[in-house]
Amino acid sequence: MAASGGEVADDPILDAVVAVAASAKVTVTTAGPVQVVVEVGREDYPALVEAARAGGFETFIDLCAVDHLAREPRFDVVVNLLSTQHTRRLLIKVGVPNEDPSLPSISMVYPGANFYERETWDMFGIVFDGHPDLTRLLMPDEWDGHPLRKDYRIGSVPVEFKATR
Amino acid sequence: MAGEVDNPSFFLTTLQKGVNWTRTKSMWPATFGLACCAIEMMATGAAHNDMARFGMEVFRASPRQADLMIVAGRVSQKMAPVLRQVYDQMAEPKWVISMGACASTGGMFNNYALVQGVDQIVPVDVYVPGCPPGPQSLLHGILTLHQGIMSGEIQRSTGVV
Amino acid sequence: MSDNTRDSETEGLEGKQASEGRSHGAEERRRVHDLWVAGTEEPDWVATATDEGAQEMLPRELDPGLAAQRGVTVVDDYGEATGLRDDELQILNMGPQHPATHGVLRLQLELDGETILRSKPIIGYLHTGMEKTAETLSYMQGGTNVTRMDYLSPFHNELCFSLAVEQLLDVDIPPRAQAIRILMTELNRVASHLIWLATFGLDIGALSMMLYGWRERESVLDFFEKVTGLRMNHNYIRPGGVAADLPDGWETDVEGILDVVRTGLGDYEAMLNENPIFVDRTQGVGIITPAEAQAYGVTGVNARATGLDYDVRKAFPYSGIEQYEFDVPVGQHGDTFDRYLLRMEEIRQSLRIAEQVIETMPPGDYRATDRKVTPPPRQRIDESMEALIHHFKIFTSGFDVPAGEVYQAVESPRGELGMYLVSKGGPKPWRLHVRAPSFATVQALPVMMSGQLIADVIATLASVDPVLGDVDR
């Protein structure tokens, strides 16, 4: 999305959403103005999500995290919302530091975020404060570690052939 | 009795053969689909390939009634205990076919999530290669199992790995 | 489960961070536990004696937002009206090994007699770590990974991945390659819906559908095998185009499929649409409202059955699908019967697109001419050393993709399939997240199921067409 960059000029739908968050930074993606990325600080994140829902982005599409490892903040959580009435997408990106990997849960705003937040907790160890049931989703409950973190080994087993034994 | 029959094994071996024959001719598989291979397993049971030709069209929903477990697909760490339990629930004699690369070796997914070969959990009689194996491959695997049982090559008495 | 698979220790990365991350895990778990029990020693709402945390149902007294989310509002009134005590309820575990769960989905059902009060889907039994594996495979190899996710629509996975990579690469795909992609994905939609019809029929007792659905699907699969060499998991659509041109006489094959499937569809509808048993078992069963569908991220047929008019092919067209004429059927009741009708109509529309592709297939190359992503033609390898080296390099080390992020969606048979790809340069993706349509659908199952009878669980579950490979990845 950084590929084309650029500012969005005069976008009433988006302006109404972004107005609630002082820290919001808007960029357009290679897909054009139908797919807009808003980077936002942690403090403004819940307000922005609520404003997005009120502003017409009624469909919850996706929530995932990216582990940048060496970068500060280490994680990005990316929320993907869709407005079917305006036929456009909104990607909300919020940085999460390694020292305190937590974010307010948005599963009360979008119930669909429930499983996605559980998956993100499971895979990245990001805690979603206020989530009703933040347990492991994909891995067994007693699993140790968060597999999709970059410092978690892929866990491959060396391949052995009978002839070499 | 022993004095009257010179060669007692004559009668016994034919009985064994008869038993083996009956075992191969109505070997009911358990409905145990996991991933992509399960689709091909279902295709094997469907009209074109028709497992009913081998007396195997009845996929039993309950492991108690099944003789054969076809492990069709990748086995995750979370699924492994379940798989073992299903195997333990099956009544003797029972056989296991490991269908496809993932079930046999972990396939292309050599990572934290998958059991690298279902033979770490249950004893496997026949491995079917492919990703996924087509219905013909699976049928070949099944016939190989039948042959092994008929010839006495594959015998199963305990569920110990 | 050996130690090295569990080890979160770093490999060539800073050890400090790794150890921090690990110790943090334990702390976080405690925090989560705090959320659960809210200050009390023993959670007093545990409905059944189990040893696994995730088996527990949520407490019955929930705040309104969560209650709506879990579909508890309706049934709690019912429970109070009939004076139900907790000991009259029972928890039933359905799956992960169950013939009607379409794989390894596990449902925890709270029952009062035969009525479902609440349900909780438990997933992860087919978790394959594909998102992690994707980080170790080059963009050239990535297709083999993603194609195995949603194993009923492998072409859609490949297409989505390829489109995402191509967006970052900024390469132009020749029209013929785009048309081939559309042809294959739409035929794949037909095959997928046919399997759905077969298994759906099987689950609700229309056993003949099982045989017919698979029979018709074989005709599509024969064509796939002819084109790609494999019946499933093709890795045919690749970044830059497709792996090979269509074989000679493909038009005849596709026309054959059109004939067979269309004839079959007529038969099935004659058997099912007016069939009183089928209608009784499907109408008014598994209802979800448009607002619920949107809030849960339910897309595809399951959302359109509620009356939402959202199809990625129309809203965000990809691979030149906007050139073809097709309709997006929309239902109104959001129940199982509407989902059935819609899928049948979608098969027709996909066949219509395939028919147009036959008429308008453009000549030209089947992959991009950009040398960066395209291996040299086979005969060039015999003639030129450079071509051989190029071929070797592209398949061993792959090609570099510029840094960037992209979200790309396609309309898979199950809904919006999206891939969020993060590249930091180099031949391998930094992160590939898959927005799986079945994942959202499974999450919304409690809403559809609450208040129904247990037999309807089977019908509802089968009708939303979850693919567990897609859910768990």
Domain of residue A19, CATH code: 3.30.460.80
Q: Report the alpha-carbon distance of residue C326 to residue B20 in Å, rounded.
A: 57
Instruction: Verify whether the Cβ–Cβ distance A157 to C5 is below 8 Å.
Output: yes
- For residue A129, pLDDT beyond 60: yes
Q: Is A161 on the interface with B (CB under 8 A)?
A: no
Tell me the chain C residues in contact with residue A110 when contact means C-beta distances shorter than 8 Å. 295, 297
> Residue C433 — very low, low, confident or very high, per pLDDT cuts 50/70/90?
very high
pLDDT of residue A63: 92
> Residue C57 — very low, low, confident or very high, per pLDDT cuts 50/70/90?
low
A7 in a structural domain: no
A2 in a structural domain: no
A115 in a structural domain: yes
pLDDT of residue C364: 87
Span of B84-93, B139-148, C95-104, C238-247 with lowest mean pLDDT? C95-104
| Peptide bond between residue A73 and the one before it cis (omega within 30 degrees of 0) | yes
- For residue C85, pLDDT beyond 70: no
Residue numbers of C between 338 and 367 with CB closer than 8 Å to A: none
Mean pLDDT of B133-155: 86
Candidates B36, B42, B76; nearest CB to C125: B76
Give the closest residue to C153 by CA, choosing from C472, C467, C381: C467
Instruction: Verify whether the Cβ–Cβ distance C6 to A143 is below 8 Å.
Output: yes
- For residue C455, pLDDT beyond 60: yes
Span of A9-13, C181-185, C274-278 with lowest mean pLDDT? A9-13
- Max CA separation in chain C (angstroms): 84
Number of domains in chain A: 1
Mean pLDDT of C155-169: 91
User: CA C435, C440, C446: angle at the middle one, nearest 5?
Assistant: 165
Candidates C10, C295, C416; nearest CB to A151: C10
Instruction: Verify whether the Cβ–Cβ distance A155 to B106 is below 8 Å.
Output: no
Give the closest residue to B125 by CA, choosing from B39, B13, B50, B24: B24
> Residue C35 — very low, low, confident or very high, per pLDDT cuts 50/70/90?
very low
Cβ neighbours of residue C393 closer than 8 Å, sequence gap 6 or more: none
pLDDT of residue B8: 55
Tell me the chain A residues in contact with residue C37 when contact means C-beta distances shorter than 8 Å. none
Q: Is B52 on the interface with C (CB under 8 A)?
A: no
SS3 A133: coil
**Residue in B closest to C147 by C-alpha:** B36
CA A83 to chain centre: 17
Residue with tokens 């041109």: C245
A48 in a structural domain: yes
Q: Is B31 on the interface with C (CB under 8 A)?
A: yes
Q: What is the mean pLDDT of chain C?
A: 79
- For residue C278, pLDDT beyond 90: no
Span of A128-142, C26-40, C146-160 with lowest mean pLDDT? C26-40
More confident residue, B11 or C57: C57
Domain that residue A29 falls in: 12-164
Residue numbers of C between 117 and 136 with CB closer than 8 Å to A: 123-124, 127, 129, 131-133, 136
pLDDT of residue C34: 31
pLDDT per residue as tens digits for the range C169-219: 888 899 999 999 999 999 999 999 999 998 888 888 888 888 888 888 889
> Residue A32 — very low, low, confident or very high, per pLDDT cuts 50/70/90?
low
ipTM score for this prediction: 0.88
SS3 B82: helix
Q: Is B48 on the interface with A (CB under 8 A)?
A: no
pLDDT of residue C141: 87
Element (H, E) at C252: helix C250-272
- For residue C289, pLDDT beyond 60: yes
Mean pLDDT of C42-50: 36
Candidates C128, C198, C231; nearest CB to B74: C128
How large a percentage of chain C has pLDDT more than 70? 81
pLDDT of residue B73: 86
Mean pLDDT of A60-72: 89
pLDDT of residue C256: 92
pLDDT of residue C417: 92
Mean pLDDT of B95-113: 88
Tell me the chain C residues in contact with residue B79 when contact means C-beta distances shorter than 8 Å. 96, 104, 125-126
A19 in a structural domain: yes
More confident residue, C156 or C378: C156
Q: Which two tokens stand for residue C235?
A: 């890795």
**Residue in B closest to C217 by C-alpha:** B43
More confident residue, B64 or B2: B64
pLDDT per residue as tens digits for the range C305-345: 988 888 899 888 888 888 999 888 888 888 888 899 999 99
Model pTM score:
0.84
A139 in a structural domain: yes
A1 in a structural domain: no
How large a percentage of chain B has pLDDT more than 70? 88
Q: For testing the chain A interface, which of B74, B78, B108, B112 should be mutated: the one with the most A CBs within 10 Å?
A: B112
Q: Is C152 on the interface with B (CB under 8 A)?
A: yes
Candidates A91, A137, A146; nearest CB to C407: A91
Instruction: Verify whether the Cβ–Cβ distance A155 to B111 is below 8 Å.
Output: yes
pLDDT of residue C68: 54
More confident residue, C395 or C59: C395
Residue numbers of B between 102 and 121 with CB closer than 8 Å to C: 108-109, 111-114
Element (H, E) at C242: strand C241-242
A149 in a structural domain: yes
Q: Is C215 on the interface with B (CB under 8 A)?
A: yes
Candidates C96, C218, C469; nearest CB to B36: C469
Burial C32-66 (b: 16+ CB within 10 A, else e): beebbeeeeeeeeeebeeeeebbbbbbbbebeeeb
Candidates B77, B106, B112; nearest CB to A154: B112
- For residue A2, pLDDT beyond 60: no
Mean pLDDT of C89-97: 78
Mean pLDDT of A122-131: 88
> Residue C77 — very low, low, confident or very high, per pLDDT cuts 50/70/90?
very low
* Secondary structure string (H, E, C) spanning B95-153: EEEEEHHHHHHCCCCCCCCECCCHHHCCCCCEEECCCCCCHHHHHHHHHHHHHHHHHCC
Q: Report the alpha-carbon distance of residue A142 to residue A74 in Å, rounded.
A: 25
Mean pLDDT of B69-84: 88
pLDDT of residue A132: 80
| Peptide bond between residue A33 and the one before it cis (omega within 30 degrees of 0) | no
Q: Which of the residue ranges B57-66, B150-159, C116-125, C253-262 has the most confident prediction, judged by mean pLDDT?
A: C253-262
Mean pLDDT of C34-43: 35
